[in-house]
Structure 1
Amino acid sequence: MTEYLTNYMKYVQQRLEKCSSAAELDEIMAEHKDKIAFMQHERIVHFLVTMLFALVLTVFMAVILFKPNIPVIILVTMMLVLLAFYIKHYYFLENTVQKMYKVYDGILEKQKKLKESSE
């Protein structure tokens, strides 16, 4: 997903730099809106999974407090590592979706300029 989003952001920036017609800009806007919707869904799913892992991790940490044993400690360690990677990925998704909003604003601005110049 990281590579996909990174490539898409480069692609849309390149298309915007080369774009000069209102029709092409409308096409870019429609595609970008779809991508934003997909990434918002992806972001929500990853948020829910991250919170679920955090909740389960909290439960297992509480188990360690009341009855420490090696298998649970190993499980908690593995879950901590996994949770760290989930948080890192969620952070990337969140920041990239916010960048997508800025690109969306840039497309709107470019549409306004094209309309003003054609009048």
Structure 2
Amino acid sequence: MTENIKVYETYLEEKLNQNTLNHQDLSNHRAQIAYLQHERYIHLLVTCVVSIILFLTFMLCLFQDSLLLYLLLIILIILDFFYVRHYYVLENTIQHWYRVETEIIEKVQNVE
């Protein structure tokens, strides 16, 4: 996913620098935003579910002394960390793309 974001960001940067934007580019950008919003939403749901399971496992570890539970807890902490990090990247990217959308709208209106 991050590779796709980088490729699209490079393409977008070139189009913005060349000032060759049109309504099709704006439509394409909005489709990319919609795709990323969906991706962000799914990752939010998965992150919440993993966090709930992590919390429940932690609570269970307080009452049960089991090596397997502690191992599961460590795995869930690592998994949750990476989900939160990826969600952070998605959130920052979508916020950046909202600002870029405003730039595209301004440039397309100036061309007309």
Per the normalisation by structure 2, the TM-score is: 0.95
What's 1:27 paired with? 24
Superposed displacement of residue 6, structure 1 = 1.4
What's 2:7 paired with? 7
Instruction: Specify which of 94, 98, 103 is matched with residue 101 of structure 1.
Output: 98
Q: What's the RMSD between the two structures over aligned residues?
A: 1.1
Task: Output one character per residue of 1:1-34: Cα deviation in whole Å (capped at 9) or x when no partner.
Answer: 01111111111111122234xxx51111010010
Task: Output one character per residue of 1:50-96: Cα deviation in whole Å (capped at 9) or x when no partner.
Answer: 00000000000000011121100000001100110111100000000
What's 1:91 paired with? 88
1:77 maps onto 2:107 in alignment? no
Q: Between Structure 1 and Structure 2, how many residues are aligned?
A: 112
* Structure 2 residue ranges without an equivalent (≥5): none
Partners of 2:54 and 2:65 in 1: how far apart?
14
* Structure 1 residue ranges without an equivalent (≥5): none
Partners of 1:18 and 1:26 in 2: how far apart?
15
Partners of 1:74 and 1:63 in 2: how far apart?
12
What's 2:61 paired with? 64
Quick check: 1:16–1:25 contact (8 Å CA) kept in 2? Answer: no
Identity of aligned residues (%): 33
Superposed displacement of residue 108, structure 1 = 1.0
1:51 maps onto 2:48 in alignment? yes
The runs of at least 4 consecutive aligned structure 1 residues that moved more than 3 Å come to: none
Q: Which has the larger radius of gyration?
A: 1
